[in-house]
């Protein structure tokens, strides 16, 4: 089934090379080619195991390929996600993934066509939003994806990782075998996910083939994955996934191990603290690193020397509002009030125009209106404020959102503000 065909010739002088590219969903027997195309776009090679695992998680109907004749030259995929949004509430979302174009075919508009096609498809499927993590931050804003969370890396010497206050030890720790881990970890994850905008539900297959996947190439030179859990009154309340970096040495007789924490979370501040105190207690470790902490990591408020975390901040996940009405009605709000947005969406025309967001009892009714706008914005900026990671006032610092009525930014921020920091702890 050819879902779209484009002749690049004549579209613009930059892309004028007469190449004919067709877009279509891949067939099951083309899936290996699909995975080989995405790994080649990243200048890597897929292992047999990776080829098999990728197949289990990605629905071929959501695996889009760009073909130059018979050759697959570009790919883009999407997972079926259910994402937590402020309230907390849950919303169906496309988890955009495996996006790449071969180096031989770049800067000819192939990604642009794939993104346009994929957004139409997401809309047809009735998913109000799409989310993604970007390999480079200059790629997706042009397609309406706004930076929606911040994430931080931390890197701390173990002997400087002391807590501000001492508390009596409680609960117990266990290391989990792979075959028993999923149920225990999911018990914690599901509860944290349900409270945290930006996190998505994990299926059993996702745990098995993604979060706990531990093949040699997946380790990037590190050691095997360990799974530690903290239980209180017999119930798991926090866990950590970590591996050692394999750069262990005894320099001058002193151990220099580095620990890489892939994920650490707890259902309460106490549980979060306990699992980090477990990590800081792992012997023969000199430094501890974690790369996908929340923008303001909880440890910042717990440690005696927060500066020693060496926090480095960057863009986290991006949110694309695919359908304004269903997206804004899917989350809830802490204050009632109303605001009219004039929205500019270059890819999805149904979002264009003026929308009145009327919040009463914490729920929004969103309708097209002919009223004068309070705020004029690109769809990108609405994606940035959606999870509560950024305010309208902050977005107005850029050049694609501004207030048309004095005081409108403040009014909108009172309505949209949230009290939970959005966070997505995993790459997908
Ligand atoms: C990112 C990538 C998919 C872009 O594909 P592409 O087909 O070259 O993109 P397009 O030709 O549609 O580019 C659209 C616009 O975005 C710009 N752009 C896209 N990717 C860019 C990048 N990585 N750096 C700078 N500009 C980029 C293009 O210059 C172009 O701008 P223009 O419209 O002003 O001319 C491709 O470079 C790639 O595969 N990179 C390696 C893998 C990767 O990073 N994938 C993304 C995973 S999240």
Residues with CB under 6 A from ligand 1: 14, 41-42, 99-101, 106-112, 134-136, 138-139
- pLDDT band of 9, cuts 50, 70, 90: very low
- Residue 17, pLDDT > 70, answer no
Residue with the larger pLDDT of the pair 178 and 268: 268
Mean local confidence (pLDDT), 333-340: 98
Strand order across the beta sheet in which 353-360 lies: 363-368, 353-360, 337-344, 375-378, 401-403
Looking from the CA of residue 112, the nearest atom of ligand 1 is 12
Average pLDDT of the chain to the nearest whole number: 94
The per-residue pLDDT for 240 is 98
Instruction: Please state whether the peptide bond connecting residue 67 to the residue before it is cis, i.e. omega within 30 degrees of 0.
Output: no
The residue whose CA is least distant from atom 3 of ligand 1 is 100
Interval 34-42 mean pLDDT: 95
Q: Is the pLDDT of residue 5 over 70?
A: no
CA of 14 to the centre of ligand 1 (A): 13
Q: Is the pLDDT of residue 11 over 90?
A: no
pLDDT band at 180, cuts 50/70/90?
A: confident
**pLDDT score for 216:** 84
Pairing of strands 337-344, 353-360: antiparallel
| Mean pLDDT, rounded, for 69-79 | 97
Ligand 1, atom 45, lies closest to the CA of 100
137 C-alpha vs ligand 1 centroid, how far in Å?
11
The reported pTM is 0.95
At 411, list the tokens: 């009014």
**CA–centroid distance, residue 163 to ligand 1 (Å):** 44
Beta bridge partners of 360: 363
The answer to whether 65 and 75 have CB atoms below 8 angstroms apart is yes
Q: Would you tell me how many other CB atoms lie within 10 Å of the CB of residue 50?
A: 18
Mean pLDDT of 91-114: 98
- β pairing state of 172-175 and 257-266: unpaired
Q: How far is CA 133 from CA 51, 151, 170, 393, in A?
A: 21, 11, 37, 24
Amino acid 2: pLDDT = 43
CA separation for the pair 251, 311 (Å, rounded)? 27
Expressed in angstroms and rounded, the spacing between residue 215 Cα and the centre of ligand 1 is 30
What is the average per-residue pLDDT within 28-35?
A: 91
Report how far ligand 1's centroid is from the alpha carbon of 270 (Å). 44
CA–centroid distance, residue 325 to ligand 1 (Å): 30
Instruction: Return the residue whose CA atom lies nearest to atom 30 of ligand 1.
Output: 107
**pLDDT surpassing 70 at residue 273:** yes
Q: Whose CA is nearest to atom 18 of ligand 1?
A: 139
Least confident of 54-58, 78-82, 154-158, 167-171: 54-58
- 242 in catalytic set: no
The pLDDT, as a whole number, for residue 15 is 56
Return the pLDDT at 398. 97
pLDDT of residue 12: 40
What average pLDDT does range 377-398 have in this prediction?
Answer: 98
Are 31 and 55 in contact, with CB atoms under 8 Å apart? Answer: yes
* pLDDT tens readout for residues 193-240: 999 999 999 999 999 999 999 988 888 889 999 999 999 999 999 999
Closest alpha carbon to 360 in 382, 377, 335: 335
**Average pLDDT of 268-294?**
97
Query: Which of 242, 278, 341, 428 is the catalytic position?
Result: 428
Whether 297 contacts 151, CB under 8 Å: no
Ligand 1 pocket test: which of 14, 75, 110, 111 has the largest number of ligand atoms within 8 Å of its C-beta?
111
pLDDT higher than threshold 90 for residue 254: no
Q: How far apart are CA 301 and CA 28, in angstroms?
A: 49
Give the residue, out of 8, 16, 106, with the most ligand 1 atoms within 8 A of its beta carbon, to mutate for a pocket test: 106
Burial code of 279-297, b = ≥16 C-beta within 10 A, e = fewer?
bbebeebbbbebbbbbbeb
Ranges 73-77, 151-155, 221-225, 353-357: which has the least confidence: 221-225
What crossing angle do the helices spanning 31-41 and 48-57 adopt, rounded to 10°? Answer: 110
- Residue of 34, 79, 81, 140 marked catalytic: 140
Which of 15, 78, 105, 136 for mutating ligand 1's site (highest number of atoms within 8 Å of CB)? 136
Residue bearing tokens 């380790």: 219
Q: Which of 5-14, 147-156, 186-195, 398-407 has the lowest mean pLDDT?
A: 5-14
Confidence of residue 120 (pLDDT cuts 50, 70, 90): very high
d(CA 403, CA 113): 32
Q: Whose CA is nearest to atom 10 of ligand 1?
A: 109
Strand partners, 96: 78
60 or 191: whose pLDDT is higher?
191
Number of the ligand 1 atom closest to the C-alpha atom of 106: 8
Determine the distance separating the centroid of ligand 1 and the alpha carbon of 115, expressed in angstroms.
11
* Range scoring the smallest mean pLDDT among 50-59, 196-205, 266-275, 361-370: 50-59
Residues 5, 19 contacting (CB under 8 angstroms) = no
Asked if 81 is an active-site residue, the reply is no
For residue 10, pLDDT beyond 50: no
- What is the pLDDT, as a whole number, of residue 251? 85
């Amino acid at each position: 089934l050819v879902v779209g065909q484009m002749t690049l010739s004549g579209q613009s002088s930059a892309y004028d090379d007469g190449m004919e590219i067709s877009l279509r969903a891949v067939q099951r027997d083309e899936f290996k080619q699909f995975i080989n195309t995405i790994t080649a776009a990243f200048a890597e090679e897929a292992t047999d195991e990776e080829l098999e695992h990728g197949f289990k998680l990605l629905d071929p109907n959501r695996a889009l390929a760009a073909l130059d004749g018979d050759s697959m030259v570009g790919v883009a995929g999407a997972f079926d996600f259910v994402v937590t949004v402020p309230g907390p509430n849950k919303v169906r979302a496309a988890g955009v993934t495996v996006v790449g174009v071969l180096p031989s075919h770049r800067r000819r508009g192939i990604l642009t066509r794939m993104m346009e096609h994929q957004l139409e498809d997401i809309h047809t499927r009735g998913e109000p939003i799409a989310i993604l993590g970007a390999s480079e931050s200059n790629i997706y804003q042009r397609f309406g994806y706004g930076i929606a969370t911040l994430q931080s890396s931390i890197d701390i010497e173990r002997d400087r990782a002391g807590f501000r206050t001492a508390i009596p030890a409680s609960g117990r720790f266990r290391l989990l075998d792979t075959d028993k881990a999923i149920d225990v970890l999911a018990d914690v994850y599901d509860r944290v996910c349900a409270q945290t905008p930006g996190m998505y539900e994990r299926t059993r297959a996702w745990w098995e083939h993604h979060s706990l996947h531990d093949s040699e190439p997946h380790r990037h030179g590190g050691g095997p994955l360990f799974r530690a859990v903290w239980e209180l009154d017999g119930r798991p309340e926090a866990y950590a996934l970590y591996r050692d970096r394999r750069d262990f040495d005894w320099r001058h007789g002193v151990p220099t191990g580095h620990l890489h924490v892939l994920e650490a979370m707890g259902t309460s501040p106490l549980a979060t603290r306990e699992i980090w105190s477990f990590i800081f207690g792992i012997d023969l470790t000199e430094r501890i690193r974690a790369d996908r902490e929340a923008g303001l990591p909880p440890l910042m408020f717990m440690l005696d020397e927060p500066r020693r975390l060496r926090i480095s901040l960057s863009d986290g996940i991006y949110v694309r509002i695919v359908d304004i009405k269903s997206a804004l009605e899917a989350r809830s709000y802490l204050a009632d009030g109303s605001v009219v947005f004039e929205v500019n969406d270059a890819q999805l025309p149904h979002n264009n125009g003026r929308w009145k967001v009327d919040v009463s009892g914490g729920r929004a009714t969103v309708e097209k209106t002919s009223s004068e706008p309070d705020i004029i914005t690109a769809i990108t900026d609405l994606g940035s404020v959606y999870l509560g990671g950024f305010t309208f006032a902050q977005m107005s610092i850029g050049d694609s959102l501004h207030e048309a009525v004095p005081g409108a930014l403040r009014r909108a921020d009172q309505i949209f503000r949230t009290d939970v920091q959005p966070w997505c702890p995993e790459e997908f």
